[in-house]
Amino acid sequence: MSPGGKCSLEYAYRQGTEKLGNAGVPEAQLDAWYLLEYVTGIGRASYYADPDREMSAEQKTKYDKCIEARSRRVPLQHITGEQEFMGLSFRVNGDVLIPRQDTEVLVETALDILNREEDAFQRETGRVCLLDLCTGSGCILLSILHYAKCRAEGTGSDLSARALAVAEQNAERLGIPADFIESDLFENISGRFSMILSNPPYIRSSEIAELQEEVRLYDPIEALDGREDGLYFYRRIITESPSYLNDGGYLIFEIGYDQAADVTGLMREQGFDEIHVKKDLAGLDRVVYGRYIR
């Protein structure tokens, strides 16, 4: 390749893979590929048809910058600005937790309950209302609203105005109407809901240092830190949620793999019924839900 000039796709891809590998990025080749696709818009079939094709100097400069950022362990999603979740594309940046595939279990649980209980929810108040606390990118609320078979109204709240700006942008891009409210949990929330959902921060403070660099350095710490025992937000939400749930309404949480006993215990103490735990694809406890029946 001529210095600072054009080079072949294959050369850039090999160089990118090597640099990421040297930087200790776990899936160097895959990430080098995603970034090549992101910069050039060229898919696999087209690449293999002619790997010697040249990329433009601007593309090469952009690719080098992306590789350099990824070498510093900036998450791929912060470089490309998006993450797929439930088959939908969400905008993300450093102000929101990047949507995790594990969280799809929470969405699927909520959709199952909605399909099963829609009539009961309608009978209770004539509408189906969802509240998502700590909404972040909005991925949970928006994907439930998108896939729900019934008409549902959704509110998402977050302590962070910057996170809400991302959630609002996602609602707009996906064409899914929802309300977003800046609020410390229930502080600015009024009314009652058929379902309250939350993936709150749940990592114990002492375990933050052990997280992989992409998470520890680039996901917002306020979205991760569940204080001393990781249960701070569950306690607050469980205690306050009965005042915000319709009779027979559901509270649905994502939890850390070792928190099922504690969270189900807290819900039982608060008077919740029909408490269940669901596992993720790795077989780890991931979701806890229960009903509040007055």
Contact pick of 85, 90, 193, 202 for ligand GLN (by CB under 6 A): 202
CA atoms within 13 A on the CB side of 195: 32
- Binding window for ligand GLN (CB under 6 A); candidates: 69-77, 151-159, 194-202, 276-284: 194-202
- Binding window for ligand GLN (CB under 6 A); candidates: 108-116, 196-204, 264-272, 277-285: 196-204
Q: Determine the Cα–Cα distance for residues 9 and 254; give it in Å rounded to an integer.
A: 42
User: Does residue 99 bind ligand GLN (CB under 6 A)?
Assistant: no
Residues 58-77 that bind ligand GLN (CB under 6 A): none
- Binding window for ligand GLN (CB under 6 A); candidates: 154-162, 169-177, 184-192, 197-205: 197-205
Closest approach, Cβ 265 to ligand GLN, in A, equals 19
Q: For the chain, what's the residue count? A: 294
Listing from the earlier edge strand, what are the strands of the sheet with 245-254? 179-182, 153-158, 129-133, 193-198, 245-254, 285-292, 273-279
Q: Determine the Cα–Cα distance for residues 167 and 46; give it in Å rounded to an integer.
A: 34
Identity of the residue, 103 or 246, whose beta carbon is nearer to ligand GLN in the bound complex: 103
User: Does residue 249 bind ligand GLN (CB under 6 A)?
Assistant: no
Helix (H) / strand (E) containing 112:
helix 104-125
Closest approach, Cβ 203 to ligand GLN, in A, equals 5
152: β partners:
none
Closest approach, Cβ 256 to ligand GLN, in A, equals 7
The DSSP 8-state label assigned to residue 207 in this structure reads G
262-269: long-range contacts (C-beta < 8 A, 24 or more apart)?
A: 262/229, 262/231, 262/234, 263/231, 263/234, 263/238, 263/288, 264/288, 264/290, 266/231, 266/234, 266/235, 266/238, 267/238
Contact pick of 73, 78, 91, 100 for ligand GLN (by CB under 6 A): 100
Q: Determine the Cα–Cα distance for residues 238 and 163; give it in Å rounded to an integer.
A: 23
Contact pick of 203, 238, 263, 288 for ligand GLN (by CB under 6 A): 203
The DSSP 8-state label assigned to residue 243 in this structure reads G
Helix (H) / strand (E) containing 276:
strand 273-279
100: β partners:
none
Contact pick of 156, 201, 249, 290 for ligand GLN (by CB under 6 A): 201
Closest approach, Cβ 90 to ligand GLN, in A, equals 15
Closest approach, Cβ 261 to ligand GLN, in A, equals 18
Other Cβ atoms closer than 10 A to 142:
28
Closest approach, Cβ 202 to ligand GLN, in A, equals 4
Closest approach, Cβ 27 to ligand GLN, in A, equals 17
User: Does residue 199 bind ligand GLN (CB under 6 A)?
Assistant: yes
Closest approach, Cβ 20 to ligand GLN, in A, equals 21
Identity of the residue, 9 or 203, whose beta carbon is nearer to ligand GLN in the bound complex: 203
Residues 213-242 that bind ligand GLN (CB under 6 A): 215, 224
Nearest to 118 by CA among 157, 90, 150: 150
Nearest to 133 by CA among 104, 116, 112, 154: 154
User: Does residue 16 bind ligand GLN (CB under 6 A)?
Assistant: no
User: Which residues contact ligand GLN (rule: CB under 6 A)?
Assistant: 97, 100, 199-203, 215, 224
